[in-house]
Chain A
């Protein structure tokens, strides 16, 4: 979010120290394997979790210190970069505390706040302390996406249709390919006849799943603050069908279609598309958790298609590489405005989705699906 004065070539110094707040499945199955591929530049030195047994066990895997308090991790001089992988509601306060602790860079898992006010507070502290922050929107760091960005020409200005379609097996399927998980959140048996269940599921779908691709959607949505929700429907057991219109009719109008289904399938599909009259972008992302390389991007103009990728690493590794550069001062951080806009875009969609779903649920007598 702000510039950093230190500058040193990547990989020329002792690896930067990483501290991780929260040692759940994302830390175990995503961040530690990603960091294992980057030992020459980053080293995990401190793991914090409220469960002392989990903290100790996960820390032991990487030879790091462990604790059960944020203050202990932030007070550890071996920690240069803080990764915040705790439950969403703690993100804002922990980001601010990490900045005030004088760390060199902060990675916050998405979403980095749950309201615009929290985002503004974070931005102000980042500006004041000079600590750069990035949000773990891993697809924005995926080499396949970066290749798309470098080659899509005027598509962000001309696209009229944007689609994000996510079909995933339960997280456990890929977590178990990535590591040996020691803790998992307990599952439940939701009551779909309860509108609050539907509202919670849809908000969770937007802020926990769609949010991976909403920064991508926003790149193609110039009038992202002018949103109209056309449909918002829950998909069992976890997913959504959401249609939106952004911007005024004419060149600025965008149709946004968001689809997601998480079920017991073994077959993942994670596709982002942006389409204009004369060009189309398609990005096929690899599933999270496994180190399956980058997305593959295809850009078509008329009947000619060009494919980029796959490249060797995914967006998670990409974001850690970026963090190392930020901590060393060899790269400028993303603008605070961009991160805040990504967040407010997601919150606006989540709010509108929940409101519409609640209204439709109230009008429905069937109660089978909202």
Chain B
């Protein structure tokens, strides 16, 4: 039988990461600190990924946390946090809006198995009007590189109040286009289409507000396969992943991956 970890969350993390719901859906693994063990230091800290989140995460580690969950982190230098986490043996996981969706694990396999034959990658992220396009681009790119790996020659072609267009290249040279669209009349989410010489892969990633599954379809000469749908939100997946790392004593690679994303964003011309 595995142990239950106590959890505390900042109000911002609770709002952006639906921490209470995620924790309640894993009752054997986690429990709210205030109710379970009011006199003890919470073992897991959930913080929002607003600017300064790496400093807040280090504070949580210094305060004795065994694990840290960061909800929707903005690009930030993670080197000091990585050092602190490794030194203290703390697991830091990132709960990313779309990149943490559990369906992307299967999508990654589907994309990478045909990437060498890719002819074009076209992806559109949609968010409500008024969303910060810079933040949207970070969340969008995080989801894309989760399944494609690093992209080459990323370049911002335009950005403004209605969204952005970014160009890039896949490793085989095929063109990549990332578009951000801000509208209240399209479901928020990421749509990704990789076209090959005889089919491709399409991925629709929903918001983590509910346990809507990502839809991943692999199309080839024999037809189209819908990968198994996983009715688990990105939030719950993140917490479940954290528990696995804590129980196994392993360190998640989230921060290393996020460092690469931050570097890509910083180099966008």
Q: A245-B158, A257-B177, A265-B219 are in contact. Are A276 and B185 (CB under 8 A)?
A: yes
The answer to whether B172 touches A368 (Cβ under 8 A) is yes
Q: Among residues 177 to 219 in chain B, which have CB atoms less than 8 Å away from a CB atom of chain A?
A: 177, 179, 181-186, 195-200, 219
Q: Is B12 an interface residue (CB 8 A)?
A: no
A306 → B minimal CB distance (Å): 12
Q: A255-B165, A264-B197, A278-B185 are in contact. Are A235 and B177 (CB under 8 A)?
A: no
Q: Is B79 an interface residue (CB 8 A)?
A: no
Q: Among residues 145 to 187 in chain B, which have CB atoms less than 8 Å away from a CB atom of chain A?
A: 157-158, 160, 162-163, 165, 167, 169, 172-175, 177, 179, 181-186
Q: Is A4 an interface residue (CB 8 A)?
A: no
B148 → A minimal CB distance (Å): 16
Taking CB atoms, residues of chain A closer than 8 Å to B182 are: 277
Q: Is B119 an interface residue (CB 8 A)?
A: yes
Q: Is B221 an interface residue (CB 8 A)?
A: yes
Taking CB atoms, residues of chain A closer than 8 Å to B179 are: 163, 257
Q: Is A236 an interface residue (CB 8 A)?
A: yes
Interface size class of A (residues with CB under 8 A): 35 or more
Q: Is A3 an interface residue (CB 8 A)?
A: no
A-B contacts at CB below 8 angstroms, number? 106
Taking CB atoms, residues of chain A closer than 8 Å to B185 are: 275-280, 300-303
Q: Among residues 132 to 178 in chain A, which have CB atoms less than 8 Å away from a CB atom of chain B?
A: 160-161, 163, 165, 167
B190 → A minimal CB distance (Å): 15
- C-alpha gap A259/B200 in the complex (Å): 15
B158 contact from A163, A230, A265, A276, Cβ within 8 A: A230
- C-alpha gap A253/B157 in the complex (Å): 15
B183 contact from A230, A241, A257, A276, Cβ within 8 A: A276
Q: Is A249 an interface residue (CB 8 A)?
A: yes
Taking CB atoms, residues of chain A closer than 8 Å to B86 are: none
Taking CB atoms, residues of chain B closer than 8 Å to A231 are: 157, 165, 167, 177
Q: Is A369 an interface residue (CB 8 A)?
A: yes
- C-alpha gap A195/B148 in the complex (Å): 29
The answer to whether A241 touches B177 (Cβ under 8 A) is yes
Q: A161-B162, A280-B185 are in contact. Are A230 and B169 (CB under 8 A)?
A: no
- C-alpha gap A276/B162 in the complex (Å): 9
Taking CB atoms, residues of chain B closer than 8 Å to A230 are: 157-158, 165
Interface bits B115-130 vs A (CB < 8 Å: 1, else 0): 0000110101000010
Q: Is A61 an interface residue (CB 8 A)?
A: no
Q: Is A243 an interface residue (CB 8 A)?
A: yes
The answer to whether B186 touches A368 (Cβ under 8 A) is no
The answer to whether A263 touches B196 (Cβ under 8 A) is yes
- C-alpha gap A77/B19 in the complex (Å): 79
The answer to whether B162 touches A255 (Cβ under 8 A) is yes
Q: A267-B219, A280-B183 are in contact. Are A233 and B175 (CB under 8 A)?
A: yes
Interface bits A244-264 vs B (CB < 8 Å: 1, else 0): 010001000101010101011
The answer to whether B120 touches A235 (Cβ under 8 A) is yes
- C-alpha gap A277/B174 in the complex (Å): 32
The answer to whether A266 touches B122 (Cβ under 8 A) is no
Taking CB atoms, residues of chain A closer than 8 Å to B124 are: 163
Closest to A161 in B: B181
The answer to whether B183 touches A275 (Cβ under 8 A) is yes
- C-alpha gap A225/B160 in the complex (Å): 21
Taking CB atoms, residues of chain B closer than 8 Å to A233 are: 167, 175
Taking CB atoms, residues of chain B closer than 8 Å to A261 are: 119-120, 195
The answer to whether A167 touches B195 (Cβ under 8 A) is yes
The answer to whether A277 touches B197 (Cβ under 8 A) is no
- C-alpha gap A245/B163 in the complex (Å): 12
10 contacts between A and B (CB under 8 A): A165-B122, A237-B197, A241-B167, A257-B165, A261-B120, A265-B199, A275-B185, A277-B162, A277-B182, A278-B185
Q: List 8 other contacts, CB 8 Å, given A231-B157, A267-B224.
A: A241-B122, A243-B157, A245-B158, A253-B162, A257-B177, A278-B183, A368-B172, A369-B174
